Structure 1
Amino acid sequence: MPRILGVDPGITRLGVGVVDNPHGSSLSMIAVDVLRTPPEWDITERLLHLQRGVAQLLDLHKPDVLALERVFAQHNVRTVMGTAQVSGIVIALAAERGIPVSHRTPSEVKAAVTGYGGAKKAQVQTMVKNILSLDEIPKPADAADALALAITEAWRGRVPGVQGRGASASPVSSTQTPAQRAWREALGQRTNLG
């Protein structure tokens, strides 16, 4: 049963979400959390705290793959630097344990989870809740984002034992996530009605 750890990197809040992806069945959430560091801490203290927290999670949950949000340019260089530093720690910890790391862009995650790459954050959070059959949307947003990364990896990634689930599907539909297929089917039904 492939296990995926999604990580939404950040120096103040680092979201983590673990999902299991049993072959041929729906995803299930195993854990979700947000590791936090106070802004008044020195950068070395903050990075060490996050390193220890991520290491504990990797050793506890033993994921088959880690899905990490790709660092992208923002207007705030300080935020980008902190995110990049945290990402480097996460990648090193995974490599140390032989866990492959997959990098996902925010638009790629939105497209996988909602069927639309320009979806709003609230739409992604609602879909995470629905996909994982949760009673409520995980809070704060970093927690839902981490689960969305894990879902994306489950549906689009190279998780061991998952490939080939859509073997009978057409080449186009086998590269689409369930959310994208549902969206295209709904669009097709509306077109046929017109």
Structure 2
Amino acid sequence: MRILGIDPGLRRTGFGIIDVSGSSLGYVASGTIVVPTELSLGERLKVILDNVRDVAAQHSPDEASIEQVFVNANPHSTLLLGQARGAAICALADSNLPVHEYTALQVKKTVVGRGHADKEQVQAMVQHLLRLNGAPAADAADALACAICHAHHLPLSAQLAQSGHVTFSGLRVRAGRVLR
């Protein structure tokens, strides 16, 4: 299975593609979409949309994962980040990819082992897990980490699907009934 991970941003959007075979992870590609800041908001969102769509077309992933927006002290920044994320999700949906969402805390906990890891720790673990010669750039590392997070959640998702259980916001549900 091939997974495309996205770390959305209005100035820099990271992407990372990995192949998953059982418990084995393989690096395919990664990079950063640099969005010119002199463009209007609409033009910047189009740059993200077009480039994420191009990455998906070039690498033919089976699924995609993206970081959820966190609410920070500046609501305006949060709104802009949400718009960048929306442009990326639209590109993924337009590419007919199932999109899975993870919080930054989930991604860091899965990849590093603790949810409050710093960027350098994420970069080092991504380098180690994918057996890279050097640390990827910060935005690309975050996107690769998002893809790795999804790869680690795949077996659980498959088990839940086979058992007829699905999760919604942390609740397990079977045939419309909430299970405790």
Normalised to the residue count of structure 2, the TM-score between the two structures is 0.82
Check 1:158–1:13 CA distance in 2 against 1; reply closer, same or farther (3 A cut).
farther
Aligned to 2:6: 7
CA distance in 1, matches of 2:70, 2:116: 16
- The one-character-per-residue Cα deviations of 1:107-133 (angstroms, maximum 9, x if unpaired) are 101110011222222111110000000
Aligned to 1:43: 41
| Structure of greater Rg | 1
Aligned to 1:81: 79
Aligned to 2:18: 19
> Of Structure 1 and Structure 2, which has the larger fraction of its residues in strand?
2
- Which secondary structure state, in structure 1, belongs to the residue aligned with residue 16 of structure 2? strand
Choose from 99, 102, 123 the match for 2:100.
102
Gaps of 5+ in 1: 165-194
Choose from 22, 25, 28 the match for 2:26.
28
Check 1:158–1:8 CA distance in 2 against 1; reply closer, same or farther (3 A cut).
farther
1:52 counterpart letter in structure 2: D
Retained in 1: the 8 A contact 2:3–2:63?
yes
In the alignment, structure 1 residue 149 sits paired with structure 2 residue 146: yes
- Which secondary structure state, in structure 2, belongs to the residue aligned with residue 157 of structure 1? helix
Check 1:60–1:123 CA distance in 2 against 1; reply closer, same or farther (3 A cut).
same
- Which secondary structure state, in structure 2, belongs to the residue aligned with residue 102 of structure 1? strand
Normalised to the residue count of structure 1, the TM-score between the two structures is 0.76
1:145 counterpart letter in structure 2: D
In the alignment, structure 1 residue 56 sits paired with structure 2 residue 62: no
CA distance in 2, matches of 1:19, 1:99: 15
CA distance in 1, matches of 2:118, 2:95: 35
Structure 1 residues 127-136 or 39-48, which shifts more? 39-48
Gaps of 5+ in 2: 160-180
- Which secondary structure state, in structure 1, belongs to the residue aligned with residue 10 of structure 2? coil
Aligned residues: 159
Aligned to 2:136: 138
Check 1:23–1:158 CA distance in 2 against 1; reply closer, same or farther (3 A cut).
closer
> How far off its partner does 1:163 sit?
4.3
> How far off its partner does 1:48 sit?
1.1
Retained in 1: the 8 A contact 2:46–2:87?
no
RMSD over aligned CA atoms reads 1.8
1:69 counterpart letter in structure 2: E
